[in-house]
A and B are shown apart, each in its own frame.
Chain A
Amino acid sequence: MQDATTLKDYRKQLREALENDFQRQALDKFAVAYRTSRANAFADIDAPELIAEIAAAKDASIDHLEELFEEFKRHAEAAGTKVHLAATAHEANEIIARIAKENDVKTIVKSKSMTAEETHLNHLLEAEGFEVTETDLGEWIIQLRHEGPSHMVMPAIHLSRYQVADLFSEVTHKQQDVDIQKLVKVARRELRPKFCQADMGISGANFCIAATGSIGLITNEGNARLTTTLPRVHVALAGIDKLVPTLHDALRIIRCLPKNATGQAITSYVTWITGAVPCETAKGGTKVKHVVFVDNGRLAMARDPEFKQVLRCIRCGACANVCPIYRVVGGHKYGHVYIGAIGLVATYFFHGREKAKNLVQNCLNCGACKAVCAAGIDLPTLIKEVHARIQDEEGHPLYSTAVGQVLKNRKLFHTMLKSARLLQKPVTGGTPYLRHLPMFLFKDQDFRALPAVADEAFRDKWERIKPRVADAKLKVALFSGCVQDFVYPEQMEAAVAVIASKQGVSMEYPMGQSCCGLPLQMMGEKQAGRELAAHNMNAIDAQDFDYIVTLCASCASYLKHGYKRLFADDPAMAYKAAQFAHRVIDFSSFVRDVLGITDESFTGPSKKVTYHAPCHLCRGLGVTEAPRALLGEAGLEYVPATEEDVCCGFGGTFSVKFPELSKELLGKKLANLKATGASAMATDCPGCIMQIRGGFEAEKTPFEVRHVAEYLAERLKRK
């Protein structure tokens, strides 16, 4: 459970987590295995379509939660279930404690419920003197260790068999073997008497079906079936967002949830309970049955146009499964109660700003979570939005406001960059890297060499190198982004050469363009970001061009999708942003799909080149084939790397804020690239190049890291 009070404190906790070798290896193994098992599970199913259906159905429910609650209550009560609605977590816990007292309950068994973790139900019940036993194996283990879950589906994934054997030896007062099969049987037999003796069973609910008043429970172990069968009282605790109109809605989610969670086609058990069912030990032979819904901010969230989609979440945990940060630090440092990307967002709403304010900054914006989300939630954007809200509530940090002020003023920003060129002389030592950085400014940044600002910016070269095209059939605006303009102008020059190799394409470099604004979003500076976006849309009049081409995957993705979101509340600007976005295209797609450049344009000896797929290209724009195909067209031998589409750890300002994490992710990336046997790598993003090239430079490994445009340009046939 992450609860650091300051960012400094949080970073210290993260460094400690990085030293947990067992957890690191366990999560690494899982991350790799999960990819394959998820892909296999969805092999016969159109996953994007199913996800879109789930999202649409959940959205429709979210608008009618109160009506669904009334409908559920009517049907459930007709079948003998008492239905409650608690406004807060505390109220939900009190209702459950009251039910326990009214029914003379002493002992309670629980099956897994994230909602009960959210409300800290066990704390209250134990304080009231009830004996509470978790019966899901993982939950039991962490209960015995007095910990919270480190994953929503696999709560004890951070623990080894040795730790479990020690724990079970303590619990049974007998020495237990370190053998997982045996340990599981020990749990079976230790927990069985708990089921037999319990007066009350508490379960969660994966679905609450309004049309029939039924609940649905998904488990693999079968503990939920025993929890809801043996004790004479059954209470189900559910967030009000678990209401769905019909059985069909629940069945649809089941088609996705287990596949997305663990790569299973379906869990061993899906239990459907309607009303109060027979129970031999209950008075009158019928179980005492209650369903407690908890609001805890959900109904307000349902009315929040930006955040209502959080309520689509079906708690599959996939956003943690694929998160590069979760993978290195584990769930205890990557969530408060709810873990992973959804946890970064949900913590703010369910557990407050204090618990969320450090956590929410720990996001690379790599989009891996969004790409697998079972309900299509735009998690990276919501995470940034929570960060922006917290800054608006608490006041923006000085550096953040300052960066906002500088970036939205192009002239000031560019003047500063040009001054940097002169000021850096003492630290470059005549190399393209900043060699002797004042360490107080760049603490913990030495895991990669940082590049120097180029002698001449691309914008200053433009008039000299601009191709003159007489009768243009295609008009293109170039958007360079700051890094290629001021640090890597050679990448832009390469792109110009490649595009100019096709007849009839005119290129313009509108001089008013500035930073795309993504760094401001990363820092939670939303207002400055809007001003900057408006500035760029004025600087490049979209109507004048067929395409706006950019070589930076991050800029491209932000120009294409981010601008529209920024102006969602301003119809005139939203229209302008849509017109702008429509024309934005990444370099590789433009060259292959629009210009149709093929192997006829290239010549030269072949060599092995591997590839790094930038997050904002492969997931942000959905472009995966074009760059790899182009390497082949250019006569290069493309050698795939392991985990090509996993983030390099740059994440813009992320790498400055969390250098220890950035370093870890970069280390994995470098190892995967080296393992290909190639000694050259192409990619489509200057940020990734800065990170990866700097990483190789810092470890003194000779490895060529260049933009796809550079590989193409150097192999163009001379005319």
Chain B
Amino acid sequence: MTTPNLVEKLTAKAGLVSATVRAVASMDEAMAYVADVCVGKEVCQILASGCDAPLSGTAEALCETKQEKIICAPEMPEEAMAALSAQCAERGVKLITSGMRSHLGGIDIGLTMAAAGIAETGTVVIRSTNEEVRLASMIAEIHIAVLPASAIVADSYALEPVMVDWMSRPDFTAFVTGPSRTADIERVLALGVHGPLELHILILEDK
């Protein structure tokens, strides 16, 4: 399959599992998108149950830890960080690259670079041996992954050689397909049970 075909398939398959997929021409465009999403979202989307919703004492206390808009981008390339820092400074968003354990109540956006994409299932592959990446992509209400178009493969078998190499030392890698979901109550689909409520995939065009 050619890259355009793979992009098309991944876009379609990810869409089926409630992921938002966008093509972006440059890293600058990607970072502007990230800032836009962050500014545009409500402070706390878990409001789905309402911050005034009745919770137990400990659960409410944890919610108190989040008071401002936060993006965590732990392992983004330098050019991305430069663009994103500028965007965040301008728009009053706090940008962090570490210290996720102080923000376990929630952050707005976790930004990651995907190591690969799997077209067949609409999956992004996030290498997250760095604990900050693991937490940013799980604790955030919205997970945004930048995926270089050239890193998309047809199916998971195509990733085997590279994954076996990763696995030759301590490693934590995740296939992420759509946002966190459950159907444990009456088989009704609900998004965002423990992880992100939304997954956005930004497919970065090859230069």
Q: Are B185 and A137 in contact (CB-based, < 8 A)? A: yes
Q: Which residues of B contact A248 (CB under 8 A)?
A: 157, 160
**Cα(A164)–Cα(B190), bound, Å:** 15
* Residues of chain B with a CB closer than 8 A to A157's CB: 187
27 residue pairs from A and B, CB less than 8 Å apart: A136-B184, A141-B185, A172-B55, A180-B190, A184-B192, A185-B192, A189-B46, A189-B55, A190-B56, A192-B59, A214-B167, A222-B138, A222-B180, A223-B194, A225-B174, A228-B172, A229-B134, A251-B160, A266-B121, A266-B175, A268-B17, A268-B179, A268-B180, A268-B195, A273-B172, A277-B129, A277-B131
Complex interface residues of chain B between 163 and 196 (CB less than 8 A to chain A):
163-164, 166-188, 190, 192-196
Interface residues of B (CB under 8 A from A): 13, 16-17, 46, 48-49, 53-56, 58-59, 61-63, 101, 104-105, 120-123, 129-131, 134-135, 138, 156-157, 160, 163-164, 166-188, 190, 192-196
Would A209 and B167 count as touching, CB distance under 8 A? Answer: yes
The CA-CA distance from A279 to B172 in the complex, in Å, is 12
Q: B101, B122, B172 — which one has the most chain A CB atoms within 10 A of its CB?
A: B172
Interchain CB contact under 8 A, B49 and A185: yes
Compute how far the CA of A615 lies from the CA of B150 in the bound complex, rounded to whole angstroms: 49
A286 contact set on B, CB distance < 8 A: 170
Task: State whether the Cβ of A80 lies closer than 8 Å to any Cβ in chain B.
Answer: yes
Given contacts A265-B122, A272-B173, 14 further A-B contacts (CB under 8 A): A159-B186, A174-B56, A180-B188, A184-B182, A186-B55, A193-B62, A196-B62, A209-B167, A213-B167, A221-B193, A222-B180, A222-B194, A251-B156, A271-B174
Residues of B within 8 A of A246 (CB): 164
A155 at the interface (CB under 8 A from B): yes
Return the 9 tightest CB-CB contacts between A and B, nearest first: A174-B54, A222-B195, A275-B170, A138-B184, A185-B49, A212-B167, A270-B175, A184-B190, A222-B180
A135 to chain B, nearest CB (A): 7
- A719: CB under 8 A from chain B? no
Task: Tell me the chain A residues, 143-172 only, with Cβ under 8 Å from chain B.
Answer: 154-157, 159-161, 164, 171-172
Partner of A274 from the list B171, B175, B182 (CB cut-off 8 Å) is B171
Residues of B within 8 A of A10 (CB): none
- A interface residues, Cβ below 8 angstroms from B: 26, 29-30, 33, 79-80, 135-138, 141, 154-157, 159-161, 164, 171-176, 180-193, 195-196, 209, 211-214, 220-223, 225-226, 228-230, 246-248, 251, 254-255, 262, 264-281, 286
**A residues in contact with B172, CB < 8 Å:** 228-229, 271-274, 277
- Contact B53 A277, beta carbon cutoff 8 Å: no
Q: How far is the CA of A230 from the CA of B195 in the complex (A)?
A: 13
Query: Would A189 and B138 be within 8 Å (CB), given that A269-B174, A277-B129 are in contact?
Result: no
**Inside 8 A of B129's CB, which chain A residues have their CB?**
277-278
Task: Closest B residue to A159 by CB, please name it.
Answer: B185
CA distance A674 to B201 in the complex (A): 50
Shortest CB distance A221–B (Å): 4
Smallest beta-carbon distance B163→chain A, Å: 6
A512 to B24, CA, bound (A): 79
A222 to B177 CA separation, bound complex (whole angstroms):
11
- Name A289's closest neighbour in chain B (CB-CB): B170
CB distance A247 to B190 under 8 Å? Answer: no
Nearest chain B CB to A153 CB, angstrom units = 10
B49 touching A247, Cβ below 8 Å? no
How far apart sit A29 and B166, CA to CA, in the bound complex (Å)?
A: 43
Closest to A175 in B: B54
Chain B residues closer than 8 Å to A247, beta-carbon distance: 160, 163-164, 167
Q: CA A344 – CA B170 in complex, angstroms?
A: 39
User: For B122, what are the chain A residues with a Cβ–Cβ distance below 8 Å?
Assistant: 265
How many angstroms from the CA of A53 to the CA of B122 in the assembled complex?
Answer: 24
Q: Establish whether residues B194 and A161, one from each chain, have CB atoms under 8 Å apart when the complex forms.
A: no
Q: Which residues of B contact A214 (CB under 8 A)?
A: 167, 171
Whether A137 contacts B55 by the Cβ 8 Å rule is: no
Chain B residues lying within 8 Å of A222, measured Cβ to Cβ, are: 138, 180, 193-196
Contact B183 A154 (CB under 8 A): yes
Q: A188-B194, A192-B105 are in contact. Are A278 and B56 (CB under 8 A)?
A: no
Collect the chain A residues with CB atoms within 8 Å of residue B63's CB.
189
Contacts of A154 in B (CB 8 A): 183-184, 187
- The CA-CA distance from A229 to B120 in the complex, in Å, is 28
* A35 CA to B110 CA, complexed, in Å: 37
